[in-house]
Copies of this chain bind each other. A is one copy, B any other.
């Protein structure tokens, strides 16, 4: 089954490759409607699934209830602010660790989903300010 290049598909991939914000399906839907007003949310989901299966994008199952999508398929991990939800890139733990777990677990490794949770610099600052004020 070959993949046709449709307007929605092209725009979704472009948007994901352009932005660094790891949007959800709904965020992409709202952005895409500006250029393609009649697009359906179902089209967003279907294309995200297809693009992920083709290895053109990454799907992030963070623990926030909604999935995030990433146009950057280079090896990297993510950090999410527990306060504002922002998702940023971080570097992965090294190849060393990867080989270790492959040896120890006996699994054949396919991919990884590594998320670190914390407070982003902005929220950290705000929280500290609030504490001082009390």
Contact = CB atoms under 8 A, between A and B. Distances in A.
Interface string A108-125: 111111111111110010
A44 B99 CA distance: 37
Interface residues of A, number: 36
Given A61-B62, A90-B101, A118 B109 contact: yes
A104 interface: yes
Contact of A120 (B62, B90, B104, B106): B106
A119 B107 contact: yes
Nearest to A113: B115
A11 to B, nearest CB: 25
When all copies of this chain in the complex are counted, the total is 2
A108 to B, nearest CB: 4
A115 B124 CA distance: 26
B81 A91 contact: no
Contacts of A114: 112-115
Contacts of A108: 118-119, 124
A8 interface: no
Interface string A80-111: 01100000101101100110111011111111
